[in-house]
Structure 1
């Protein structure tokens, strides 16, 4: 624990890590700005997403919730402002995390094509929470009188290489992993859905896309029909 604490202190004092924290704050704030304005104006989010898409069903229902939809937009705009102000950045990161974790689970559940980007946003928010660990820990850990450990041999540039190299490796893993996490996906349009039908189980894939975009079936129902159709072709 003392070694981790020492590495944390070194990272906090490093300008590269400080700039990365500012970068994450700005990017996360920008990500919520257009979505909040759309909701406050009472417009459907992701207007280009078909209504029969699994996530399109969700956005249609959310739009019909009235002032709750507007409330979400106001909350997102408030989080945007909190993230941009240094003194309130931690509060903004905490509020952002409560929303982005919900959005992440939603995108994985509906097999949304933008899942990778949402995952990166979640990781950026986690970085901000870890960055302000010294302030955040008082919510969970009883403060004690301890002196900060001193690093005998600072890692220096190696710490940057380890961290940012690890970030690149994690991003690569997420991008590669999400290609194989699902056998079939609805895509963001009917065309995208059918474009994946040229490899395995083309007939079952076409049936799946028909269930989603022609008949407007729920994702679980379409997947069940896809699996039945796929299994019928097996000897």
Structure 2
């Protein structure tokens, strides 16, 4: 398993040296943040998801709004937090991790309910963009999910340098 992770790390390092992908990664981060900011803000402010009746979708969101107000607010808060984290380079990996379960839920809802043509495709692209960002920041994601794999950090104790697990 360690050998596989080391090999993936080598491939990851090579891919991250491609200049175009740095610009593309920023584009994906901005697009994903723009997708969550307005809808998350509406939920935080207590506005309904949609003002018009669009069938089963309206029933589901109205029930969520009417009976699970705290959950509705929490979903909106998570969406805004994920969007902001994505826009800060130091926290982008954490933002993608927060974004992942939300986007999975959105894909499930849009594919099981009749949202209209194209919506499942758009939400699937949101999920694909999130997976791309997790792959791009793989070196950080591994550190968040499995901190034991981090290399030992040098620390000084009593004038001598020792290796200590971070």
TM-score strictly above 0.5: yes
Q: Which residue of 1 aligns with 2:136?
A: 131
Q: Distance in 1 between matches of 2:142 and 2:70?
A: 35
Task: Return 5+ residue gaps in structure 1 as ranges.
Answer: 146-235
Instruction: Please state how far the C-alpha of 1:104 moved relative to its aligned partner.
Output: 0.7
Q: Distance in 2 between matches of 1:14 and 1:39?
A: 38
Q: Which residue of 2 aligns with 1:118?
A: 123
Summarize the alignment of residues 36-185 of structure 1 with structure 2, pairs less than 5 Å apart: 36-50=40-54, 53-64=55-66, 65-113=68-116, 114-138=119-143, 139-140=145-146, 142-143=148-149
The correspondence for 1:35, drawn from 15, 36, 39, is 39
Instruction: Please state how far the C-alpha of 1:144 moved relative to its aligned partner.
Output: 7.6
Q: Distance in 2 between matches of 1:81 and 1:27?
A: 12
Q: Distance in 2 between matches of 1:97 and 1:88?
A: 14
Q: Of the two, which has the highest radius of gyration? A: 1
Q: Which residue of 1 aligns with 2:164?
A: none
**In 1, are the aligned partners of 2:33 and 2:82 still within 8 Å (CA)?**
yes
Q: Distance in 1 between matches of 2:18 and 2:141?
A: 20
Say whether residues 1:16 and 2:20 are aligned partners: yes
Q: Deviations over 1:104-125 (max 9, x none)?
A: 1111111322111000000000
Instruction: Please state how far the C-alpha of 1:80 moved relative to its aligned partner.
Output: 1.4
What is the DSSP-based 3-state SS (H/G/I as helix, E as strand, rest coil) of the residue aligned with 1:112?
coil
- Alignment: residue pair count: 143
What is the DSSP-based 3-state SS (H/G/I as helix, E as strand, rest coil) of the residue aligned with 2:115?
coil
What is the DSSP-based 3-state SS (H/G/I as helix, E as strand, rest coil) of the residue aligned with 1:13?
coil
Distance 1:48 1:15, change over 3 A: farther
Instruction: Quote the RMSD (CA, aligned, Å).
Output: 2.0
